[in-house]
Copies of this chain bind each other. A is one copy, B any other.
Amino acid sequence: MFFHENSLQYEVEVEQPNPYFAKMLQQAIGGAEGEMRVALQYMFQAFAVPQEKQEYRNLLMETAVEELGHIEMLATAVTKNLEGARDEQIEDAREDPVIAAMLDGGQPRQALSAGLHAMPVDSNGVPFSGGYVVASGNLAADMYANVMAESTGRLLATRLYEITDDPGMEHMLEYLIARDTMHQNQWHAALETMDDHIPVPASFPQEKENQDVNYQFMSTFKEEHSNPRQRWTEGESIDGKSEFSYGRQPGIDTADIEEMIDEMYNEAN
C-alpha cells in the first residue's frame, strides 16, 4: 500500500529555463536508463519475493518508492525548464523564444501533447515500454539487472550534468548521482549476501551442462589466432570452479556436404 506527501524528495530549482534541457531530461524520466524503469523494475521484483526473504523485499520496495519520488523531481524539472511559456500566454506562442526553441529542435510533444510538461517518453518522444523492466523471479539475476540499471542511469545523469551549467540543475543532479552511487553499492551488497551466485541461476546443477565448453573462450575469428592470454582465456575462472581455456567453435562437420554441393554445382554447369 502506497502513500504520498506534498513535498519533493529534494530541491528542484531552475535559474534559466532551457527547452533543450527539458528534452534531454525526458531520457531520465521515460528512457531505457530512466526513473520509470527502475521504479517499476524494483516494484515488480519486490512483488515476486516470498515472505521468508522479507529483507530483500523491503530493500527492493523501499528503493522502488524512492525512485517514484525521482520521477516527481524530474517532471518538476521539465516543467520549470519550459517556464516562461505558459498556457495563458499561448496567444503569443510563435514569438515566444522558449516555444520557438522547443518546436525547432526540442521535443514538440512537450508542447503539442502535454502543454509544456513532462511525459512518460524518452528524449526522442519514444514512449516508455514495459519491455525495459527486468523482473526475472530470480534474486541474483535481478540484482545484476539492477546494478546495470543504476550504472547506465548514473552514466546518463553524469552526461546530463556535463551539458548543463544551470546551478539548480547541477544541484539536483548531484543529488541524483549520489543516490545512484548508493544504489549501485546496495545491489552489490545484496549480491554479497548470497553465496554462489556465479553463474546465475545457482539452482541449476552444473554437472548437467556441457563440460567441454563451459569454461572455454570460443574464438570466432575467421583465421585461427593463438591464445591472446587474457584474463578470460586462461587462469582460474571467476566463479573459482574451473580453469579458462581457449578454443574454436566446435561446428558440426558438414564439410563433405558442402564439398558435395560445390561439386554438384560445378558438374551441373
Smallest CB separation, A226 vs chain B (Å): 6
A65 to B71, CA, bound (A): 14
The B-contacting residues of A in range 195-240, CB under 8 angstroms, are 198-201, 203-204, 206, 208-223, 225-226, 228-232, 237-239
Complex copy number for this chain: 6
Q: How far is the CA of A218 from the CA of B186 in the complex (A)?
A: 11
A169 CB → nearest B CB, Å: 12
Nearest chain-B residue to A162 (Cβ)? B93
CA distance A116 to B114 in the complex (A): 27
Q: Is the CB of B32 within 8 A of A214?
A: no
A38 close to chain B: CB less than 8 A:
no
- Is the CB of A15 closer than 8 A to any CB of chain B? no
In the complex, residue of chain B having the shortest beta-carbon distance to the beta carbon of A215: B182
Asked if residues A190 and B118 are in contact (CB atoms below 8 Å), the reply is no
Could you tell me the distance in whole angstroms from the C-beta of A247 to the nearest C-beta in chain B? 11
CB neighbours of A200 from chain B (8 A): 150-151, 154-155, 184
Residue of B nearest to A138 (CB): B155
Residues of B within 8 A of A84 (CB): none
CA distance A265 to B25 in the complex (A): 35
Task: Give 17 pairs: A residue, B residue, CB < 8 Å, sorted on A.
Answer: A3-B65, A4-B220, A6-B254, A24-B103, A27-B112, A54-B261, A66-B249, A116-B137, A129-B130, A131-B132, A145-B151, A148-B148, A151-B201, A177-B208, A178-B212, A184-B198, A185-B244
